[in-house]
Amino acid sequence: MQLDRTYVGEGKTLYAEKEEFCYAIEAYDDYFFLAKRGFLDSCTRVDVQFEQIIEASRDGFTLQDKKNIEKSVTQYRIAPKQPVALTIRQLASDFFVCNEPFIWQYFNIGTQYSGGQRAINHYILSHYNAPDTTVGQSGYISVRFVVNCAGKTGRFTMEQFSLDYQPKRFNPLISHQLFALTRNLQEWLPGKTDDGIIRDSYRHITYRLESGKITEIVP
Max mean pLDDT range (3-7, 51-55, 160-164): 160-164
Between residues 75 and 121, which one has the greater pLDDT?
Answer: 121
Angle at 21 between CA 15 and CA 22, to 5 degrees: 160
The domain locations on the chain are 2-79, 104-218
Residue 177 has pLDDT above 80, yes or no: yes
- The arithmetic mean of pLDDT across residues 182-200, rounded, is 92
What is the structure's pLDDT at 52?
A: 77
Q: Which of 9-23, 24-38, 195-209 has the highest mean pLDDT?
A: 195-209
Q: What is the pLDDT of residue 219?
A: 83
In degrees and rounded to multiples of 5, residue 71 shows phi and psi of: -110, 140
Mapping DSSP onto H, E and C, the string for the chain reads: CEEEEEEEECCEEEEEEEEECEEEEEEECCEEEEEEECCCCCCCCCCEEEEEEEEEECCEEEEEEEECCEEEEEEEECCCCCHHHHHHHHHHCCCCCCCCCCCEEHHHHCCEECCHHHHHHHHHHHHCCCCCCCCCCCEEEEEEEEECCCCCEEEEEEEEECCCCCECCCCHHHHHHHHHHHHCCCCEECCECCCCCECCEEEEEEEEEECCEEEEEEC
Does residue 61 register a pLDDT over 90?
no
Residue 208 above 90 pLDDT?
A: yes
Stretch 47-54: mean pLDDT: 67
Q: How far apart are the first and last CA of the chain?
A: 32
Question: pLDDT band at 62, cuts 50/70/90?
Answer: confident
pLDDT tens string 134-143: 999 999 999 9
| 92 or 178, higher pLDDT | 178
pLDDT, averaged across the chain: 77
* pLDDT for residue 7 is more than 90: no
> What pLDDT, on the 0 to 100 scale, is given for residue 123?
97
